[in-house]
Amino acid sequence: MRSVVPDYLTDVLADVESDTSGEPAGYIPELAAADPERLAAVFATVDGTVHGAGDPDVAFTIQSISKPFVYAMALSDRGFDRVLAKVGVEPSEEAFNEISLENDTGRPRNPMINAGAITAHSLTGPENVTPVERVDRVVQGLSAFAGRQLTVDETVCASEMENAHRNLAIAYMLRSHGILTEDPRAVVDGYIRQCSVLVTTRDLAMMAATLANRGVNPPSDEQVVDGAVVRQVLSVMATCGMYDAAGDWATQVGIPAKSGVAGGLIGALPGQLGIATFSPRLDRHGNSVRGVSLFERFSADMGLHVMEVPPAARAVVRSNRVRGDGADAIRVLRLQGSLSEFLWCAGINRHGGGDGRALRRRSSDPRRPRVMRWRL
Ligand code: GLU
Protein backbone atom coordinates (compact mmCIF):
# COMPACT_ATOMS: atom_id res chain seq x y z
CA MET A 1 0.00 0.00 0.00
CA ARG A 2 1.22 3.54 -0.78
CA SER A 3 2.56 5.76 1.97
CA VAL A 4 0.32 8.69 2.90
CA VAL A 5 3.30 11.10 3.10
CA PRO A 6 3.44 12.19 -0.59
CA ASP A 7 -0.28 13.04 -0.49
CA TYR A 8 0.19 14.95 2.74
CA LEU A 9 3.12 16.90 1.24
CA THR A 10 1.13 17.67 -1.92
CA ASP A 11 -1.78 18.98 0.18
CA VAL A 12 0.46 21.20 2.31
CA LEU A 13 2.25 22.60 -0.76
CA ALA A 14 -1.15 23.43 -2.29
CA ASP A 15 -2.08 25.31 0.88
CA VAL A 16 0.97 27.62 0.75
CA GLU A 17 1.14 28.02 -3.05
CA SER A 18 -1.05 31.12 -3.19
CA ASP A 19 1.30 33.05 -0.89
CA THR A 20 3.37 35.18 -3.26
CA SER A 21 4.71 37.57 -0.63
CA GLY A 22 8.43 38.28 -0.38
CA GLU A 23 11.07 38.66 -3.08
CA PRO A 24 13.88 36.46 -4.43
CA ALA A 25 17.32 37.65 -3.22
CA GLY A 26 18.17 40.77 -5.19
CA TYR A 27 21.81 41.33 -4.30
CA ILE A 28 23.05 38.41 -6.41
CA PRO A 29 21.76 39.16 -9.96
CA GLU A 30 21.57 35.48 -10.97
CA LEU A 31 19.40 34.67 -7.94
CA ALA A 32 17.06 37.58 -8.69
CA ALA A 33 16.35 35.89 -12.04
CA ALA A 34 15.18 32.62 -10.37
CA ASP A 35 11.66 31.33 -11.14
CA PRO A 36 9.79 32.47 -7.99
CA GLU A 37 7.00 29.90 -8.45
CA ARG A 38 9.17 26.86 -7.80
CA LEU A 39 8.01 24.97 -4.74
CA ALA A 40 9.14 21.67 -3.23
CA ALA A 41 9.20 19.71 0.01
CA VAL A 42 11.06 16.47 0.79
CA PHE A 43 11.22 14.24 3.88
CA ALA A 44 14.16 11.84 4.23
CA THR A 45 14.03 9.53 7.22
CA VAL A 46 17.12 8.17 8.93
CA ASP A 47 16.40 4.73 7.46
CA GLY A 48 16.82 6.16 3.94
CA THR A 49 13.16 6.49 2.94
CA VAL A 50 12.57 9.63 0.84
CA HIS A 51 9.22 11.25 0.03
CA GLY A 52 8.92 14.41 -2.05
CA ALA A 53 6.31 16.64 -3.66
CA GLY A 54 6.35 19.66 -6.00
CA ASP A 55 9.72 20.21 -7.73
CA PRO A 56 12.10 18.10 -5.60
CA ASP A 57 14.65 17.65 -8.41
CA VAL A 58 15.02 21.27 -9.55
CA ALA A 59 18.60 22.43 -8.88
CA PHE A 60 19.48 25.70 -7.14
CA THR A 61 22.48 26.97 -5.22
CA ILE A 62 22.93 25.88 -1.63
CA GLN A 63 24.04 29.34 -0.35
CA SER A 64 23.98 29.59 3.45
CA ILE A 65 22.69 26.04 3.90
CA SER A 66 26.30 25.07 3.25
CA LYS A 67 27.30 26.79 6.52
CA PRO A 68 26.43 24.05 9.07
CA PHE A 69 28.03 21.39 6.89
CA VAL A 70 31.23 23.35 6.36
CA TYR A 71 31.33 24.14 10.10
CA ALA A 72 31.11 20.35 10.63
CA MET A 73 34.05 19.86 8.26
CA ALA A 74 36.13 22.52 10.06
CA LEU A 75 35.44 20.86 13.44
CA SER A 76 36.41 17.47 12.00
CA ASP A 77 39.50 18.74 10.19
CA ARG A 78 40.97 21.08 12.82
CA GLY A 79 39.36 19.98 16.10
CA PHE A 80 36.96 21.81 18.44
CA ASP A 81 39.54 23.92 20.29
CA ARG A 82 41.06 25.47 17.19
CA VAL A 83 37.68 26.24 15.64
CA LEU A 84 36.10 27.60 18.85
CA ALA A 85 39.11 29.87 19.34
CA LYS A 86 38.13 31.59 16.10
CA VAL A 87 34.32 31.29 15.86
CA GLY A 88 31.85 31.63 18.76
CA VAL A 89 28.48 29.94 19.30
CA GLU A 90 26.34 32.88 20.47
CA PRO A 91 23.28 34.06 18.51
CA SER A 92 24.06 37.47 17.02
CA GLU A 93 20.46 38.73 16.68
CA GLU A 94 21.72 40.47 13.57
CA ALA A 95 21.30 40.00 9.84
CA PHE A 96 23.31 37.31 8.07
CA ASN A 97 25.71 39.78 6.47
CA GLU A 98 26.26 41.99 9.51
CA ILE A 99 29.88 42.50 10.57
CA SER A 100 29.16 40.84 13.94
CA LEU A 101 32.51 40.40 15.64
CA GLU A 102 33.15 40.25 19.39
CA ASN A 103 34.47 43.62 20.55
CA ASP A 104 37.60 42.38 22.30
CA THR A 105 38.69 39.35 20.25
CA GLY A 106 37.30 40.11 16.79
CA ARG A 107 35.87 36.58 16.81
CA PRO A 108 32.68 36.16 14.72
CA ARG A 109 29.75 35.39 17.02
CA ASN A 110 28.69 32.15 15.34
CA PRO A 111 29.31 30.08 12.18
CA MET A 112 25.84 30.69 10.68
CA ILE A 113 26.41 34.38 9.92
CA ASN A 114 28.70 35.25 7.03
CA ALA A 115 31.62 36.38 9.23
CA GLY A 116 31.67 33.02 11.03
CA ALA A 117 31.03 31.04 7.86
CA ILE A 118 33.90 32.71 5.99
CA THR A 119 36.14 31.85 8.95
CA ALA A 120 34.86 28.25 9.08
CA HIS A 121 35.58 27.92 5.35
CA SER A 122 39.18 29.01 6.02
CA LEU A 123 39.47 26.26 8.68
CA THR A 124 38.55 23.32 6.44
CA GLY A 125 41.14 20.90 5.12
CA PRO A 126 44.60 20.36 6.55
CA GLU A 127 46.96 23.19 7.58
CA ASN A 128 48.73 24.74 4.54
CA VAL A 129 46.04 23.60 2.10
CA THR A 130 45.82 25.76 -1.05
CA PRO A 131 42.59 27.68 -1.76
CA VAL A 132 41.82 25.36 -4.70
CA GLU A 133 42.38 22.22 -2.62
CA ARG A 134 40.20 23.68 0.12
CA VAL A 135 37.30 24.26 -2.28
CA ASP A 136 37.70 20.68 -3.45
CA ARG A 137 37.60 19.44 0.16
CA VAL A 138 34.40 21.47 0.74
CA VAL A 139 32.65 20.27 -2.45
CA GLN A 140 33.58 16.65 -1.70
CA GLY A 141 32.43 17.05 1.90
CA LEU A 142 29.05 18.49 0.85
CA SER A 143 28.76 15.63 -1.67
CA ALA A 144 29.35 13.06 1.08
CA PHE A 145 26.52 14.59 3.12
CA ALA A 146 24.25 14.45 0.06
CA GLY A 147 25.33 10.95 -0.96
CA ARG A 148 26.10 11.99 -4.56
CA GLN A 149 28.67 14.11 -6.40
CA LEU A 150 27.74 17.82 -6.36
CA THR A 151 29.13 20.58 -8.60
CA VAL A 152 29.55 24.38 -8.54
CA ASP A 153 27.26 26.65 -10.60
CA GLU A 154 29.92 28.84 -12.22
CA THR A 155 27.40 31.47 -13.42
CA VAL A 156 25.94 32.11 -9.95
CA CYS A 157 29.46 32.03 -8.51
CA ALA A 158 30.72 34.72 -10.95
CA SER A 159 27.58 36.79 -10.38
CA GLU A 160 28.07 36.77 -6.60
CA MET A 161 31.82 37.36 -6.81
CA GLU A 162 31.23 40.54 -8.85
CA ASN A 163 29.00 41.82 -6.05
CA ALA A 164 30.92 40.49 -3.05
CA HIS A 165 31.87 43.89 -1.62
CA ARG A 166 30.26 43.24 1.74
CA ASN A 167 31.73 39.76 2.20
CA LEU A 168 35.12 41.17 1.18
CA ALA A 169 34.72 43.91 3.79
CA ILE A 170 33.93 41.25 6.42
CA ALA A 171 36.95 39.18 5.36
CA TYR A 172 39.31 42.17 5.52
CA MET A 173 38.00 42.95 9.02
CA LEU A 174 38.64 39.32 10.01
CA ARG A 175 42.14 39.56 8.57
CA SER A 176 42.83 42.74 10.54
CA HIS A 177 41.91 40.88 13.77
CA GLY A 178 44.11 37.90 12.85
CA ILE A 179 41.07 35.60 12.62
CA LEU A 180 41.88 35.03 8.96
CA THR A 181 45.56 34.49 8.36
CA GLU A 182 45.65 34.51 4.58
CA ASP A 183 44.57 36.59 1.60
CA PRO A 184 40.96 37.64 2.34
CA ARG A 185 40.06 37.72 -1.36
CA ALA A 186 41.07 34.07 -1.85
CA VAL A 187 39.02 33.01 1.20
CA VAL A 188 35.92 34.92 0.00
CA ASP A 189 36.36 33.42 -3.45
CA GLY A 190 36.37 29.93 -1.88
CA TYR A 191 33.40 30.76 0.38
CA ILE A 192 31.37 31.97 -2.62
CA ARG A 193 32.20 28.79 -4.53
CA GLN A 194 30.94 26.88 -1.47
CA CYS A 195 27.68 28.90 -1.59
CA SER A 196 27.35 28.21 -5.34
CA VAL A 197 27.23 24.41 -5.05
CA LEU A 198 24.14 23.14 -6.88
CA VAL A 199 21.66 21.01 -4.93
CA THR A 200 18.09 19.82 -5.25
CA THR A 201 15.52 19.76 -2.45
CA ARG A 202 16.02 15.99 -2.40
CA ASP A 203 19.79 16.46 -1.83
CA LEU A 204 19.15 18.91 1.00
CA ALA A 205 16.74 16.53 2.73
CA MET A 206 19.38 13.79 2.53
CA MET A 207 22.06 16.13 3.89
CA ALA A 208 19.75 17.01 6.79
CA ALA A 209 18.97 13.31 7.31
CA THR A 210 22.72 12.67 7.63
CA LEU A 211 22.81 15.16 10.52
CA ALA A 212 19.67 13.57 11.99
CA ASN A 213 21.38 10.16 11.71
CA ARG A 214 24.45 11.01 13.86
CA GLY A 215 26.53 11.90 10.81
CA VAL A 216 25.91 8.70 8.85
CA ASN A 217 24.53 9.22 5.34
CA PRO A 218 21.45 6.96 5.26
CA PRO A 219 21.77 5.43 1.78
CA SER A 220 25.56 5.11 1.57
CA ASP A 221 26.07 4.27 5.28
CA GLU A 222 29.19 6.45 5.21
CA GLN A 223 30.12 8.09 8.54
CA VAL A 224 30.62 11.60 7.16
CA VAL A 225 31.36 13.29 10.52
CA ASP A 226 31.27 11.91 14.05
CA GLY A 227 28.47 12.21 16.61
CA ALA A 228 30.15 14.91 18.73
CA VAL A 229 30.46 17.15 15.67
CA VAL A 230 26.80 16.59 14.78
CA ARG A 231 25.73 17.55 18.31
CA GLN A 232 27.69 20.79 18.07
CA VAL A 233 26.32 21.62 14.61
CA LEU A 234 22.68 20.88 15.48
CA SER A 235 22.99 22.97 18.65
CA VAL A 236 24.25 25.95 16.68
CA MET A 237 21.56 25.46 14.02
CA ALA A 238 18.94 25.45 16.79
CA THR A 239 20.13 28.75 18.26
CA CYS A 240 21.52 30.64 15.26
CA GLY A 241 20.28 28.95 12.07
CA MET A 242 17.50 31.39 11.24
CA TYR A 243 19.49 34.60 11.74
CA ASP A 244 17.59 37.32 13.57
CA ALA A 245 14.39 35.22 13.42
CA ALA A 246 16.00 32.41 15.45
CA GLY A 247 13.87 33.00 18.59
CA ASP A 248 10.56 32.99 16.70
CA TRP A 249 11.66 29.86 14.91
CA ALA A 250 12.76 28.09 18.09
CA THR A 251 9.41 28.68 19.76
CA GLN A 252 7.08 28.16 16.80
CA VAL A 253 8.82 25.42 14.82
CA GLY A 254 11.42 24.00 17.21
CA ILE A 255 13.51 22.09 14.65
CA PRO A 256 17.26 22.80 14.23
CA ALA A 257 17.32 24.50 10.83
CA LYS A 258 19.24 26.53 8.26
CA SER A 259 18.01 28.70 5.41
CA GLY A 260 19.74 29.95 2.26
CA VAL A 261 19.07 33.02 0.12
CA ALA A 262 18.34 30.93 -3.00
CA GLY A 263 15.15 29.78 -1.19
CA GLY A 264 16.21 26.47 0.34
CA LEU A 265 15.49 25.59 3.96
CA ILE A 266 16.50 22.47 5.90
CA GLY A 267 15.53 21.05 9.28
CA ALA A 268 17.11 18.06 11.04
CA LEU A 269 15.21 16.19 13.71
CA PRO A 270 17.72 14.04 15.63
CA GLY A 271 17.05 10.32 15.30
CA GLN A 272 14.08 10.86 13.00
CA LEU A 273 14.33 12.72 9.73
CA GLY A 274 15.73 15.46 7.53
CA ILE A 275 13.29 17.91 5.96
CA ALA A 276 13.97 20.30 3.08
CA THR A 277 11.84 22.86 1.28
CA PHE A 278 12.45 25.17 -1.66
CA SER A 279 10.68 28.40 -2.61
CA PRO A 280 12.73 31.44 -3.73
CA ARG A 281 10.74 34.38 -2.31
CA LEU A 282 12.34 35.58 0.92
CA ASP A 283 11.12 37.51 3.95
CA ARG A 284 12.99 40.46 5.46
CA HIS A 285 15.29 38.11 7.40
CA GLY A 286 16.39 36.33 4.21
CA ASN A 287 14.35 33.18 4.97
CA SER A 288 12.00 31.60 2.40
CA VAL A 289 8.43 32.82 3.09
CA ARG A 290 6.67 29.66 1.95
CA GLY A 291 9.45 27.51 3.43
CA VAL A 292 8.83 28.97 6.89
CA SER A 293 5.06 28.36 6.51
CA LEU A 294 5.70 24.77 5.44
CA PHE A 295 7.89 24.07 8.45
CA GLU A 296 5.30 25.64 10.76
CA ARG A 297 2.73 23.24 9.32
CA PHE A 298 5.00 20.19 9.53
CA SER A 299 5.89 20.95 13.13
CA ALA A 300 2.27 21.52 14.19
CA ASP A 301 0.75 18.61 12.22
CA MET A 302 3.28 16.04 13.37
CA GLY A 303 4.36 17.31 16.78
CA LEU A 304 7.96 17.69 15.59
CA HIS A 305 9.02 20.46 18.00
CA VAL A 306 12.10 19.08 19.78
CA MET A 307 10.85 20.41 23.13
CA GLU A 308 7.47 18.70 22.80
CA VAL A 309 7.23 16.19 25.64
CA PRO A 310 5.35 13.02 24.68
CA PRO A 311 2.88 11.60 27.18
CA ALA A 312 4.45 9.00 29.50
CA ALA A 313 4.43 5.65 27.72
CA ARG A 314 3.55 2.22 28.97
CA ALA A 315 4.31 -0.82 26.82
CA VAL A 316 3.82 0.34 23.25
CA VAL A 317 2.31 -2.83 21.77
CA ARG A 318 -0.94 -3.64 23.54
CA SER A 319 -1.76 -6.64 21.34
CA ASN A 320 -0.35 -8.30 18.24
CA ARG A 321 -2.57 -10.76 16.36
CA VAL A 322 -2.80 -12.28 12.90
CA ARG A 323 -6.25 -12.41 11.36
CA GLY A 324 -7.05 -14.61 8.33
CA ASP A 325 -4.89 -16.96 6.26
CA GLY A 326 -2.61 -16.99 3.22
CA ALA A 327 -2.65 -13.91 0.97
CA ASP A 328 -5.49 -12.36 2.96
CA ALA A 329 -3.67 -12.60 6.29
CA ILE A 330 -3.42 -9.33 8.16
CA ARG A 331 -1.40 -8.51 11.27
CA VAL A 332 -3.25 -6.22 13.64
CA LEU A 333 -1.18 -4.29 16.16
CA ARG A 334 -2.86 -2.29 18.89
CA LEU A 335 -0.40 0.44 19.86
CA GLN A 336 -0.46 2.89 22.70
CA GLY A 337 1.75 5.53 24.23
CA SER A 338 4.21 8.09 22.96
CA LEU A 339 4.09 7.39 19.27
CA SER A 340 4.45 10.04 16.62
CA GLU A 341 1.06 9.25 15.12
CA PHE A 342 1.66 10.70 11.71
CA LEU A 343 4.91 8.86 11.14
CA TRP A 344 3.31 5.63 12.23
CA CYS A 345 0.43 6.20 9.88
CA ALA A 346 2.99 6.68 7.14
CA GLY A 347 4.63 3.38 8.02
CA ILE A 348 7.71 5.13 9.43
CA ASN A 349 8.92 4.25 12.89
CA ARG A 350 9.68 7.35 15.02
CA HIS A 351 13.00 5.78 15.88
CA GLY A 352 14.00 5.17 12.31
CA GLY A 353 13.11 1.54 11.72
CA GLY A 354 9.99 -0.05 10.40
CA ASP A 355 8.57 -0.48 6.98
CA GLY A 356 4.98 -0.93 8.05
CA ARG A 357 2.18 -0.44 5.60
CA ALA A 358 -0.58 1.10 7.60
CA LEU A 359 -4.01 0.14 6.36
CA ARG A 360 -6.02 2.11 8.83
CA ARG A 361 -5.37 5.52 10.29
CA ARG A 362 -5.18 6.33 13.96
CA SER A 363 -8.09 6.39 16.32
CA SER A 364 -9.37 9.95 16.64
CA ASP A 365 -9.77 9.52 20.40
CA PRO A 366 -6.32 10.08 21.96
CA ARG A 367 -7.19 7.95 25.02
CA ARG A 368 -7.82 4.86 22.88
CA PRO A 369 -4.99 2.77 21.46
CA ARG A 370 -4.16 3.28 17.78
CA VAL A 371 -5.08 0.28 15.68
CA MET A 372 -2.64 -0.40 12.86
CA ARG A 373 -2.98 -3.20 10.31
CA TRP A 374 -0.19 -4.50 8.14
CA ARG A 375 -0.47 -6.86 5.20
CA LEU A 376 1.83 -9.83 5.81
N1 GLU B 1 26.31 33.62 -0.50
C2 GLU B 1 25.46 34.34 0.38
C3 GLU B 1 26.22 35.46 1.04
O4 GLU B 1 27.25 35.22 1.62
C5 GLU B 1 24.84 33.43 1.36
C6 GLU B 1 23.85 34.14 2.23
C7 GLU B 1 22.64 33.29 2.63
O8 GLU B 1 22.29 32.33 1.97
O9 GLU B 1 22.02 33.65 3.63
O10 GLU B 1 25.85 36.59 0.99
| pLDDT tens per residue across span 107-134 | 999 999 999 999 999 999 999 999 999 9
In this predicted model, which residue has the larger pLDDT, 218 or 31? 218
Residue range(s) in the chain whose domain bears CATH number 3.40.710.10: 7-302
**Closest residue by CA, ligand 1 atom 6:** 64
| Distance, CA of 195 to CA of 161 (rounded, Å) | 11
What gap in Å lies between CA 140 and CA 149, rounded to an integer?
A: 7
In this predicted structure, the answer to whether residue 328 has a pLDDT above a threshold of 90 is no
| Length reported for the chain | 376
- Kindly state the percentage of the chain with pLDDT values over 90: 68
* pLDDT band (50, 70, 90) for residue 241: confident
The CA-based diameter of the chain, rounded to the nearest angstrom, is 77
Q: What is the CA radius of gyration of the chain?
A: 22
What confidence category does residue 101 fall into, taking pLDDT thresholds of 50, 70 and 90? confident
Q: What is the mean pLDDT of residues 320-339?
A: 73
User: What's the chain's average pLDDT?
Assistant: 87
- State which ligand 1 atom lies nearest to the alpha carbon of 243: 9
Query: For position 318, what pLDDT does the model report?
Result: 73
Question: In the structure, what pLDDT confidence band is assigned to residue 1 with cuts at 50, 70 and 90?
Answer: low
The CA–CA distances, whole Å, from 166 to 76, 93, 188, 364 equal: 28, 18, 10, 54
86 assigned to active site = no
Cα end-to-end distance, the chain, whole Å? 12
Given pLDDT bands bounded at 50, 70 and 90, which one contains residue 337?
A: low
| pLDDT at residue 316, rounded to an integer | 67
71 assigned to active site: no
Please, which residues have CB within 8 angstroms of residue 125's CB and are 6 or more apart in sequence?
77, 133, 134, 137, 138
**pLDDT value of residue 310:** 67
Higher pLDDT, 200 or 317: 200
- Per-residue confidence (pLDDT) for residue 202, from 0 to 100: 98
- 199 CA to middle of ligand 1, Å? 15
Split at pLDDT 50, 70, 90, the class of 312 is low
pLDDT at 3 over 90: no
pLDDT of 29-39, one tens digit each? 888 888 999 99
Active-site residue, 258 included: no
Residues near 248 by beta carbon (within 8 Å), at least 6 away in sequence: 242
Ligand 1: residues whose CB is within 6 Å?
63-64, 96-97, 114, 160, 167, 195, 260-261, 286
Q: pTM here?
A: 0.84
| Active-site choice (86, 135, 191, 288) | 191
What is the domain class of 7-302 according to CATH?
A: alpha beta
Q: Please give the average per-residue pLDDT across 141-146, as a whole number.
A: 98
